[in-house]
Structure 1
Amino acid sequence: MLIAILTGFVFAILLFFGGKNIVSGKLALLPALIPLSLFIYFVRFIKDISNNEIVHKTYEWIPSLGINLSFTLDGLSLLFSLMITGIGTLVFAYTSAYLKGNNYLDRFYGYLAVFMAAMLGLVLSDNLISLFVFWELTSISSFFLIGFNNTSLASRKSAFTALGITGLGGLLLLAGGLVLGSITGTYDISEMLQHKDLIANSDYYLLVGCLIFGAAFTKSAQFPFHFWLPGAMKAPTPVSTYLHSATMVKAGIYLLFRLSPLMGSTNFWNTTLTIVGLITMVYSAFHCLFRTDMKGVLAYSTISALGILVFLIGLGTQESFLAAGVFIIVHALYKATLFMVTGVVDHQAGTRDITQLSGLRKVMLPVAIAGILAAISNAGIPPSIGFVGKDLIYEGTLHLENSAILLTAFAIITNVLISYAGYVAGVKPFVGKLPEKFEKVKFPHFLLWFPPVLLAVAGFVFGVFPFLLQDSLVKPIVQTTGLNTSEIHLKLWHGFTPVLGLSALTIGSGLLLYFLLKPSKKLEQFIAKFDKLSPKSIIENVVLGFTNFSGFWTSTFQSGYLRNYISIIVLFLISLMGFTLLDGTTYKVDYSSFARITVYEVVILTILVLSIGLIVFAKSRLAAVVSTGIMGYSICLLFVFYSAPDLAMTQFAIDTLTVILFVLVLYKLPKYLNLSDYKMRIRDGILSIAFGGLISILALEVLAQPVNSEISDFYAKNSYLLAHGKNVVNVILVDFRGADTMVEISVLAISAIGVFGLLKLRLKSVERFQK
């Protein structure tokens, strides 16, 4: 299985080197052989999986952390693998005609191949960490596919929106996987199943559930994160067909399906999924009534279908899981068909506006047949597989112990609205009179109409012969949830039952709604009035507010003035240390333990205070510099009085050099200072006095603490023995802290080189003016 997954990545790498030579001319169909070969490979496992066998492969990756490339092929992963490769084959072939002549066709195939490989890795992974890696790869590859038309601002914005939402979900998935691993001691899902009770009783169960929900809801476009999917319709039609109907958007559904045996059967899990799925399916189906773009209609009906799947998984019964498994197949067949049909119409007629399209059956009959068959399956009209799927949904809701009638009513409303959407996208463009402007529309290429026809026909073949899916795919899917499948029997006809009556009601209501309500720009403009209340607008306003706040914060605290930066740092330190002094945990200073103040200390302190005052109030730059030197020399005298001649000499040298440098730097500046801004001086004075006072108090508290000479004794004993130096301070700097000193010297050297470069910089007059 690892080779199957890597095949897509290897092909993308070959495209990077071979490029247009691989996909140009007669070789345009060559990429379709990759998913076709993988589809054949996975078909070989149908017999084994239907016999309750599970294929498991493990490859060591990071065994020390419990992270391995573990892959499992069971009923659920087999279904998704067949969809990814089967529909992928048709999409690759469809692309060769749809994007024929595109200068970046090789790049597009590369993105598709990476996405296909990432999706295979996702559905086959048994290790949550490796699943996360492939999950993120699907988000990244979809970003490039959605933004393929990178000259369009709308495409780029949609790509970033999709990446932001699904990327957030990936982060939540990683967090959830890490917490699950800490609870169970393993990251392998198959091993976690042995610790189901441990997870359910864990204090972190709710946290893990919220993280998993966040990942699944963002990926599968559940309310209120659904808005990225309609925006993603800016992508070319092959992307919408592959990613947004059959594969990527169902990654969240796959995750919920896979983890239901592990975390399901609790009120929190089931109730959350039921409510979110219910809101999503009704809300999105309602929006289908107000769209005039064929892709827009299909986008919202896709979100509604995903909501139905989340809703069914949330019910948590055998009937609901069976309905979800069948509906995954049903939706993939008819929705991929409708997207391809939409692409052909747009490619040939040049528009997707449903209010302008009609009568196209006269110029593209095979496409019309595919669209109508897909619409019939979408509406659940027999003998399509959609009829079987819809009946199973109603059986799943009617057999509930609580709220059966209410939930069934919501399911009926949703299916009626979805039926309307299918008629609008699959039937309306092809019936009625052909407008004059479309009379010269050319008949589409074989590879444009054959893939949708094949998928549409498959929907009826499986509808007439549902046993083809029963043992091969459907039962193994339900078995992955741990439920009994012996009583599962898929049939097209179950006799006259209440479920049949509900199906008839749904079909009739959908047809009636289609004939009574015509898509119009007025309806679209009406719903646009409520955009300010939509989740998309709310989230965008939050993002805008955060951006504005960031701008305010940056302009306030990153003003470009060094004095402001220093003031902010000092104010923060004052607040922090002031809180420490006021919280009552500080030590009391015993002033009686200090030595008496001597005359020379008073004299030096007086000189220091006078020097500081002269610096603050001096109007001459030179006077301020001289006062700075006097202050430094006074500190030198303190070092001398306290028997630290080496520090005094160092301080003397530094202060002398500093004064000289200041004089040289300030030589060409005006001699006098403009000190008219007294408010700033008062502010700085208050900050300085407060900071100095706090430092003084802290210094006194440090002096009042018991002396611990352990470190001093160590340096005194070992400076000569280990470093062969008699000056302890020098030994500490050069030997014991040699690495720190070396880094400091390196920083000074780099700074000196930068300053030297700036001094040698010679700008032209225009450049100097711009600077």
Structure 2
Amino acid sequence: MDVTAMTFLALVLPFAAALVAPALTRLFGRNAAWVLALAPAAIFLHFLRFLHDVASGEIVTGGYAWIPSFNVSFSWLIDGLSLTFVLLISGIGALIVLYSGGYLKGHPQQGRFFSFILMFMGSMQGLVVSDSFLMLFVFWELTSITSFLLIGFDHGREAARRAALQALVVTGGGGLLLLAGLLILWNVSGVTQLSLLLSFGSELKESPFYLAALLLVLGGAFTKSAQFPFHFWLPNAMEAPTPVSAYLHSATMVKAGVYLLMRLNPVLGGTPEWQLLLPLFGVATLVIGAALAVRETDLKLMLAYTTVASLGLLVMLIGLGSPHAVEAAALYLVAHALFKGALFMVAGILDHETGSRDVSKLGGLRSAMPLTFTIALAAALSMGGLPPFFGFLAKEELYAAFSASNLRSALFATLTVLGNALMFAVAFSVALKPFLGPRVSTPKHAHEAPLLLWIGPAVLALDGLCAALISGFAHRLISSPMASAIAGEARTVDISLVPHIGLPLVLSALTVVLGVVFYVHLARLRAAMTAILIDIGWGPDQGFDQFIRGLVRLAVAVTRRLQGGRFEVYMTATFALVAAILLVIPLQYGEFPRAPFFSADVPAHELAVIAIAVAGLFAVVAASDRLTAIVSLGIQGFAVAVIYLLYGAPDLSFTQFMIETLSVVVLALVMTRLRLSPADHRPLPEKLRDAAIALGCGLGFGLFLLRVTAVPFDRTLTDFFNLYSKSVAHGANVVNVIIVDFRATDTLGEIAVVMITGLAILALVRLRAGSLKRAAAGEDVADEGAMEERA
């Protein structure tokens, strides 16, 4: 099997595994996690084959034509950036599946959970390797939908439902902004693939639509990656089970916005707008997220807010755009995925084995859970930026980005040190406070976690250590190709564990000192932050609730205004709009037809048919009751059928005869079952208004047909149908072939409309029958005639 086919199978494998996950869970029971983890493991091994080629500077593309006429394809782009992401997604995904098997052991809906997590994995994997704009957007929205299912997995709790809806609204709205931005990029560049877009950087930046495209793309990225002021949905997503939190924060959805900014940096980055907006929102998110983290005592919420801060740090680095900033973004993204995934799984282990994840109610667990303590400490060392872990390399490279001696660099460096020091304190609070000190009684008897729970965080913590120890090898295969893809040019990352005397080391040491101080005084910081938030009294989370309530009120008001429940209002508005379109637009553009030529030599039988149609028109208008009007209306249809027959269209004429006959019969039968007022009680102004609208529609359609027939006849479709009706559709009757074969979908829609109409008529008849039964039983059926009239 060739590489293209294998890559395609790798992209669809998570969805195939999700399809059979419930059945496999029932079949294999407690061993289902090991079986299902084979799917992401196989994906990881497949993409691992590209490491050498990508490290050599090669970009792998492939795929299949989807809609060739619109240049839309199901295509992928594998370079240093997408390969790093897909390896993190599949590698951590395999560990998360195993972790879920232990965490949700015995859960009645474990199979459903496996299905959701695998769909989530497939969506994120498809997003980061997408080359096609459309493919990127489809997978972007799939991540929002699957995360909605995962966050609301415990749908019996109102908090879980609210968090899921909130995440869907925020990220789904951002997805619409991204779609608009992609459409602008398509119109400016004329390409629909990211690999081709990368060569249009100068054209996009010089385009008058650059700022609009940038703001729309940032809207999609900021909502997905929880940048201020859209950060509130991410901590609320902790209502999801811990395996979801660990996966969401380490390798998947929240990194999607960061991935998009990294991918588009070569074509949208480097401008004053880019270098203003990204660092500004990024550093604000960093400080706010870190400050909010110290307020929490729930382990998952503490880690969630530090994820918000880390995402802000990444966005800031992408916006700065200097060589050290780009390299630091690549290093920090990988380091964050490793240590944050491990710490979240540690939090889940503590919750699972002790019955609590409140850091203020945990302590002295080191002797009962020594392996978990070791894993937590290793991950915290990496998060704190201490050697010999990969987080140390990321932090040193990060501070090297602030080497410029100007006020802007000094300001960003100060805020970054503050944010990192707060995250340092939170990391060691998670890793030390539950394990050190006197033993605290817990709801469950604490003991070491089983294999399925600790294997995942142990592997991630060990990876963070090994990647730093063999940093030269890791940089050559991962860091340098990723930094090169972000920068759009070749970059070499060479930082190692050997300290380099200079500003980065000074800032790093300052971060550690401040972090230790914050850790010691964490209780005071928590109380201070709580007091500040109480004084503020409002935040984006409350604002979201107010926005939703306001939106619902607005929708109700608009619906009541526009959908009052009276059918005659709907029909009047519809036909008035039709008349306006048919008359106003031709008047505006001068497209009215010239006066038609009437021949004096008209056959008598044609004049007779026209006279019958006119007589039918007056019969409808002059009818004293609705039943007579319906029967008179059939005169019009029969006259049209005769015209079709006279002009050589017997099939169409026969169809018209059948339709008119059935319509009159069915409507007459229905009307006999409904009690309708025999006369028209509308006041004169309403009659004049309706008459004007009717005349406007008739005149508009007449003028439209005259204008159409004045255009020279185009035989393209005629020749096409005559040529292919017999050879392709195997039918000699061209009209039948058009309706049944060439217009099959249209015909199906017409049949559906007729069916729905029939059901509506049946409902009216049954309503009438039910009303009669209630009347016979003595129930109140007052104003029934008015009700039927509205229906």
Q: Please tell me the TM-score bracket, short chain as reference.
A: 0.7 to 0.9
Match of 2:218 in 1: 213
In the alignment, does 2:21 pair up with 1:15?
Answer: yes
> Equivalents in 2 of 1:211, 1:327: separation in Å?
26
Match of 1:30 in 2: 35
| Equivalent in 260, 263, 270 of residue 258 of structure 1 | 263
3-state secondary structure, aligned to 1:61:
strand
Return 96-105 or 179-188, whichever deviates more. 179-188
Q: CA deviation at 1:544?
A: 2.1
Aligned CA distance change for structure 1 residues 194 and 437 (closer, same or farther; 3 Å): closer
> Equivalents in 2 of 1:184, 1:301: separation in Å?
38
Match of 2:599 in 1: none
| Equivalent in 422, 425, 439 of residue 427 of structure 2 | 422
3-state secondary structure, aligned to 2:538:
helix
Q: CA deviation at 1:552?
A: 1.3
Deviations 1:64-104 (A, max 9, x none): 32223333332222221221122122212211111111222
| Equivalent in 315, 322, 332 of residue 337 of structure 2 | 332
Tell whether the 8 Å contact from 1:216 to 1:255 is kept in structure 2 after alignment: yes
Match of 1:60 in 2: 64
Aligned CA distance change for structure 1 residues 627 and 352 (closer, same or farther; 3 Å): same
Aligned CA distance change for structure 1 residues 556 and 330 (closer, same or farther; 3 Å): same
1:359-398 → structure 2 map (5 Å cutoff): 359-398=364-403
1:105-124 → structure 2 map (5 Å cutoff): 105-124=110-129
> Equivalents in 1 of 2:222, 2:272: separation in Å?
18
Q: CA deviation at 1:512?
A: 0.9
In the alignment, does 2:41 pair up with 1:41?
Answer: no
Aligned CA distance change for structure 1 residues 199 and 662 (closer, same or farther; 3 Å): closer
> Equivalents in 2 of 1:586, 1:262: separation in Å?
44
Q: CA deviation at 1:317?
A: 1.0
Aligned CA distance change for structure 1 residues 492 and 682 (closer, same or farther; 3 Å): farther
Match of 1:273 in 2: 278
> Equivalents in 1 of 2:750, 2:509: separation in Å?
84
Q: CA deviation at 1:44?
A: 3.7
Aligned residue type for 1:393 = L
3-state secondary structure, aligned to 1:355:
helix
Match of 2:604 in 1: none
Tell whether the 8 Å contact from 1:184 to 1:198 is kept in structure 2 after alignment: yes
Match of 1:482 in 2: 488
Tell whether the 8 Å contact from 1:363 to 1:439 is kept in structure 2 after alignment: no
In the alignment, does 2:499 pair up with 1:493?
Answer: yes
> Equivalents in 1 of 2:749, 2:307: separation in Å?
60
TM-score with structure 2 setting the length: 0.75
Q: CA deviation at 1:333?
A: 1.4
3-state secondary structure, aligned to 1:102:
coil
Match of 1:97 in 2: 102
Aligned CA distance change for structure 1 residues 524 and 578 (closer, same or farther; 3 Å): farther
Match of 1:510 in 2: 515
Tell whether the 8 Å contact from 1:139 to 1:167 is kept in structure 2 after alignment: yes
Match of 1:532 in 2: 538
Aligned residue type for 1:38 = I
Aligned residue type for 2:218 = F
1:403-414 → structure 2 map (5 Å cutoff): 403-414=408-419
Tell whether the 8 Å contact from 1:466 to 1:492 is kept in structure 2 after alignment: no
Q: CA deviation at 1:626?
A: 13
Aligned residue type for 1:343 = G
> Equivalents in 2 of 1:664, 1:186: separation in Å?
57
3-state secondary structure, aligned to 1:123:
helix
> Equivalents in 1 of 2:452, 2:685: separation in Å?
76
Tell whether the 8 Å contact from 2:480 to 2:493 is kept in structure 1 after alignment: no
List gaps (5 residues or longer) in structure 2: 1-5, 593-621, 634-659, 713-734, 782-791
> Equivalents in 1 of 2:710, 2:699: separation in Å?
22
Match of 2:602 in 1: none
Aligned residue type for 1:491 = L
Match of 1:453 in 2: 458
Return 77-86 or 462-471, whichever deviates more. 462-471
Return 200-209 or 515-524, whichever deviates more. 515-524
Tell whether the 8 Å contact from 1:193 to 1:262 is kept in structure 2 after alignment: yes
In the alignment, does 2:145 pair up with 1:140?
Answer: yes
Tell whether the 8 Å contact from 1:118 to 1:138 is kept in structure 2 after alignment: yes
Return 230-239 or 742-751, whichever deviates more. 742-751
Deviations 1:8-56 (A, max 9, x none): 222223335545214x133432222222233333334333333x24252
Aligned CA distance change for structure 1 residues 123 and 570 (closer, same or farther; 3 Å): closer
Match of 1:352 in 2: 357
Tell whether the 8 Å contact from 1:84 to 1:120 is kept in structure 2 after alignment: yes
Q: CA deviation at 1:254?
A: 1.3
Tell whether the 8 Å contact from 2:221 to 2:258 is kept in structure 1 after alignment: yes
Match of 1:4 in 2: 10
Return 513-522 or 151-160, whichever deviates more. 513-522
Return 537-546 or 473-482, whichever deviates more. 537-546
> Equivalents in 1 of 2:670, 2:505: separation in Å?
97
> Equivalents in 2 of 1:472, 1:662: separation in Å?
79
Tell whether the 8 Å contact from 2:399 to 2:503 is kept in structure 1 after alignment: no
Aligned CA distance change for structure 1 residues 317 and 694 (closer, same or farther; 3 Å): same
Q: CA deviation at 1:430?
A: 1.9
> Equivalents in 2 of 1:692, 1:315: separation in Å?
64
> Equivalents in 1 of 2:230, 2:169: separation in Å?
11
Aligned CA distance change for structure 1 residues 16 and 444 (closer, same or farther; 3 Å): closer
> Equivalents in 1 of 2:287, 2:755: separation in Å?
67
Q: CA deviation at 1:360?
A: 2.3
Match of 1:609 in 2: none
| Equivalent in 526, 529, 547 of residue 552 of structure 2 | 547
Q: CA deviation at 1:553?
A: 1.8
Q: CA deviation at 1:321?
A: 0.4
3-state secondary structure, aligned to 1:436:
coil
List gaps (5 residues or longer) in structure 1: 588-613, 616-622, 633-653, 712-733
Q: CA deviation at 1:486?
A: 4.7
Return 145-154 or 319-328, whichever deviates more. 145-154
- Aligned-residue CA RMSD (Å): 5.1
Alignment size in residue pairs: 710
> Equivalents in 2 of 1:178, 1:577: separation in Å?
31
Q: CA deviation at 1:686?
A: 8.8
Match of 1:289 in 2: 294
Aligned CA distance change for structure 1 residues 671 and 239 (closer, same or farther; 3 Å): closer
In the alignment, does 2:202 pair up with 1:197?
Answer: yes
Q: CA deviation at 1:250?
A: 1.0
> Equivalents in 2 of 1:682, 1:301: separation in Å?
71
Aligned CA distance change for structure 1 residues 374 and 553 (closer, same or farther; 3 Å): same
Tell whether the 8 Å contact from 1:378 to 1:419 is kept in structure 2 after alignment: yes
Q: CA deviation at 1:286?
A: 1.8
Aligned CA distance change for structure 1 residues 510 and 106 (closer, same or farther; 3 Å): same
Aligned residue type for 2:13 = T
Aligned CA distance change for structure 1 residues 306 and 770 (closer, same or farther; 3 Å): farther
Tell whether the 8 Å contact from 1:467 to 1:491 is kept in structure 2 after alignment: no
The structure that has the greater radius of gyration is: 1
3-state secondary structure, aligned to 1:91:
helix
3-state secondary structure, aligned to 2:434:
helix
| Equivalent in 235, 245, 254 of residue 250 of structure 2 | 245
TM-score with structure 1 setting the length: 0.77
Return 261-270 or 40-49, whichever deviates more. 40-49
Identity %: 32
Tell whether the 8 Å contact from 1:467 to 1:490 is kept in structure 2 after alignment: yes
Aligned residue type for 2:479 = V
